[in-house]
Chains A and B, each alone.
Chain A
Amino acid sequence: MLRTKLEPNKQSLLHRLHIDGPLLLGLLALMSVGLVTIYSAGGQDIALIQRQIIRLGVAMMVMFFLAQVPVLAYQRIAIYFYIAGLLMLVAVLLFGVMGKGAQRWLDLGVVRFQPSEIMKLAVPMMVAWYISQFNLPPRLWNICVGFVVVVIPTLLIAKQPDLGTSLLIASSGIFVLFLAGMSWNIIFMVGALGAAFAPVMWFFLMKEYQKQRVLTFLNPESEPLGAGYHIIQSKIAIGSGGVDGKGWLQGTQSQLEFLPERHTDFIFAVFSEEFGLIGIIGLLAIYCYIIVVGVMISMRAQDAFAKLLAGSITLTFFVYVFVNIGMVSGILPVVGVPLPLVSYGGTSMVTLLAGFGILMAISTQKRLLSRQ
């Protein structure tokens, strides 16, 4: 049983600003690694670093802002947030803007906007809100409703198509149900259903280029200059890094442009090539630290909604890490998932830090809630 002591007089400045110090430390460490690696992967382009720092700054402001929002508010807006998100996803399918072979964006005139990013937060909030109204563990009926809540946006996003995001959203919802105590029988049943659903996916839902990716993943050497090129070059970069790496800015695979998507999705290959296994273990240690901090926050959280949401955000963060490293090192097919807080890029960065903002709100506001 965890009970947090009430020490109102000893509240630190960070706490009063609703900032979780240990979490912030971990995030800053990751961002630093990211900037150092982007500098190398982007060909020592200072402008690239500046743009990334601006993005990080914006995302941090979003994070700090969301940390101030009362957790109760998240609970109350969850359903509206979710419905609005669903409508926007439908709108994307109807009027969305094409880009990179997929229909993911809504053009709002001023900004282009990716509704699927909203769903990364809306789905776990919605599922957590719904489940937390009942006694835990949830009953079969509640779980079924929860699944429907997860599956609708997942399918809408998979249809765009955006396999990476739909995967992340599905897992964020399922993590809520898992943490809520969904019975093991159901878990295995769902697993079996999923396995049965795979052929359906293959024949009816997946686009040709997605099928190709899976095939290439299964045997990258079959297409050394085609789709397999990315995976092969990425594995060469990682493997040739060895134990201690080739050194910063010394990675030949990245510096000589053999690696594709160097500063975005494949940045882990650049990092591995230049810093080796030792560097990787250090990087994974930072991720583990953040995950442990996140799980601790969820355990200490005051009510079921906060616990479930915090746990889901933390575990989804791990899914990012696992899927990205897995695909770059050749044990998962290539789906567009960035290495969180290290890869160059804006949209997912804002969503990620928004999630951590909610986590900080949960971490720092529990006393306020308990007094209510």
Chain B
Amino acid sequence: MAPRRIAIKDHSAEANLFMRRSFMAMLLVVVMMIVLISNLYFLQVKRFDDYQTRSNGNRIKVLPVAPNRGLIYDRNGELLAENRPVFSLDVVPEEVDDLDQTLSSLGDLLDISQDDIDDFKKDMKRQRRFKPVSLLNRLTSREVALFSANQHKYPGVSIEARLARHYPYGSALTHALGYVAKINKEDSNKLSQEGKEDNYKATHDIGKLGIERYHEELLHGEVGYQEVEVNSKGRIIRTLNFQPPKPGKDLVLNLDVKLQLHIQRLMDKNRGSVVVLDAKTSGVLALYSNPSYDPNYFVHGISSKRYSFLLESKDRPLINRATQGQYPPASTVKPHLALAGLEEGTITPETRMFDNGRYKLENVSHVWRDWVPWGHGWVDAKKSIEVSCDYFFYDLAYNLGIDKINEHMSNFGFGDYTGIDLYEESDANLPSRGWKKARFNEPWYIGDTIPVGIGQSYWTATPLQLAKSINTLINQGIRHSPQILMGHLVDGNTRLAPINELPPIPVQNPENWDLILDSMLGVIHEPHGTARTAFAGTEYIAAGKTGTAQLVSIAQDAKYDAEKLSEKHRDNAMYVGFAPFDEPQISLSIVLENAGGGGSQAAPIARKIMDYYFSEHPLEIAQTDVDEAVEQ
């Protein structure tokens, strides 16, 4: 250390120096204070708006609230699709002291599998600890009651309800009504492409099939928002603002569920389908495809076992046969073809020919046989329809030619989508020269035309196309797209959806149309009519046409023997018809796969459907005697 200095201190100089330095220090303090305050001024005044926004962004979260899906009713107000609360057992991990102990004691009360616990623990790891995690889904009412009585023993465990779709009529309506199921990745991609993902932010399910899918936009509604204040951990502190969701529209369908159920019973084990339309508007009263399946399994996620069973079943229940089944229309289109011949002038009502059971062309060795081996003898157009003569229609097809046939049958809607409000629809096939060239790269031969006259060859149609074409016949060329949707409810009243009218077919001569309808009446009421037995003694006057579609070509001169053919190759039984004759209310088409003859198999079921319909809707006008009507 330096030696202690003995120099005399100059107190006043030191005090002066200290004063100067103190002022310097104070100056420094002032400068630094200014620095602090300028920065704070910058934060609190200049950038106030920015920071206020960020502060609100921290604390305010906007939670979407799912709208309630619109309900679906049938034409008589029967509820077809409802939203039912489903109960789940939720656990808030944060509020449970001893999780393992709680789980095992819950296991004594309710049926909890190890899978449930594993799933629960997996979900729990993905969630904040104060957010509920589902342990059990779809509790039964017994389980709900059982737990509710013991809830006080399980803090942090509670029963939560969510609305889920339920279809009370199960398999009876599946192909028409469809179902909703969980939104999958494909759905969300589609929603975001259409710019609708915001509206579906809180939505769990989306329409996957049928009306639920087609009218998704009407049924879904608009998402609502709940503005909440959250803390830094995301826990909701309070609700600041609530914009309620707009529920989807409640739809009323043209369907009559009682009729539909009746049809389901009648169809029994038959593979096939029935379409019943309102004869005037083409509203779909019933649309049933058999076999069907319960759509409720899909709502809650169908098990892969059950799904592969449906997928692999030989009866193909997933197919909507009414709109996707492509069948040779067979004799059911003879009225349409006869009308085409009359309107084109190819035939007249007086045109007669002799059916010997074997139709031949000059210089062609092939013989086209009538279904009655010895033929029907002398026939005109009307009788040919009544007895379903093939010979007459071979000749008619030959004379009309494929181009005219295609033109007229296109007018009836064959080979095209009907425009029904279902996405699951096939346009089937109405053959033409162009089609054959494109499909097989082959020219159209005259031999191809002949069987088209009896609705065979390459021609296929869906049952719905057939029913629609019958309505066009009944209404003299006025055409409608069949619609399942009748309208939606507004304050308890049904606001009708517009009827989808298509441009009518030009009518050459109304008498031609009347003749065709008379012929269809004759199918049932003439002694030789193919559906006479089936419709004997009805209290209403029905008209129609049977069809028996051949599925395998029978070798020349061989005999068709149903017993010997495997079931898959047996004929399809078909029937199209309407009633009552003078003021048609309903029209229908039936296809029964591999069931045999249309007159013997399909027509009786058609009759039972009509019987049921008219017992539910008794005709107001006193029924004229059947014979009298026939004479008219």
Where the two chains meet, the residues of A that have a C-beta atom closer than 8 Å to any C-beta of B are 1-2, 133-137, 141-142, 175, 178-181, 233, 235-243, 252-253, 256-258, 272, 276-277, 280-281, 284, 288, 291-292, 295, 298-299, 304, 307-308, 311, 315, 318, 322, 325-326, 329-331
Contact = CB atoms under 8 A, between A and B. Distances in A.
A158 to B, nearest CB: 23
B52 A239 contact: yes
Nearest to B19: A299
B204 interface: no
B229 interface: yes
Given A256-B231, A257-B231, A315-B29, A243 B44 contact: yes
Contact of B25 (A277, A284, A295, A329): A295
Given A135-B9, A240-B52, A256 B59 contact: yes
Contacts, number: 145
Interface residues of B, number: 47
Contacts of B230: 256
A295 B37 contact: no
B55 A237 contact: yes
Nearest 3 pairs between A and B by C-beta?
A239-B51, A240-B55, A256-B231
B239 interface: no
B44 A133 contact: no
A281 B43 CA distance: 14
21 contacts: A1-B15, A2-B15, A135-B9, A136-B14, A137-B17, A141-B2, A142-B2, A179-B22, A238-B51, A240-B52, A242-B52, A252-B55, A257-B231, A288-B33, A299-B18, A304-B18, A308-B18, A322-B36, A329-B39, A329-B43, A330-B43
Contacts of A135: 5, 7, 9-10, 14
B40 A236 contact: no
A211 B29 CA distance: 28
B351 interface: no
A242 B17 contact: no
B141 interface: no
Task: Give the dominant DSSP class at B's interface.
Answer: helix
Contact of A315 (B25, B44, B59): B25
Contacts of A325: 36, 40
Contacts of A237: 55
Contact of B40 (A253, A291, A329): A329
B232 A258 contact: yes
A299 B231 contact: no
B227 to A, nearest CB: 14
B58 A236 contact: yes
A257 B22 CA distance: 42
A258 B59 CA distance: 8
Interface string B446-482: 0000000000000000000000000000000000000
Given A241-B44, A330-B39, 13 more contacts: A136-B14, A141-B2, A179-B21, A181-B21, A233-B58, A235-B51, A237-B55, A238-B51, A240-B55, A252-B56, A280-B44, A295-B25, A295-B26
A280 B33 CA distance: 11
Interface of B: 2, 4-5, 7, 9-10, 12-19, 21-22, 24-26, 29, 32-33, 35-37, 39-41, 43-45, 47-48, 50-52, 54-56, 58-59, 229-233, 237
Contacts of B17: 136-137, 181
B18 A307 contact: yes
Given A181-B17, A236-B51, A272 B40 contact: yes
A179 B9 contact: no
A238 B12 contact: no
Given A136-B18, A291-B29, A299-B18, A1 B12 contact: yes
Contacts of A330: 39, 43
Contacts of A134: 5
Contacts of B45: 242-243, 277
Contacts of B40: 238, 272, 277, 280, 325, 329
Nearest to A2: B15
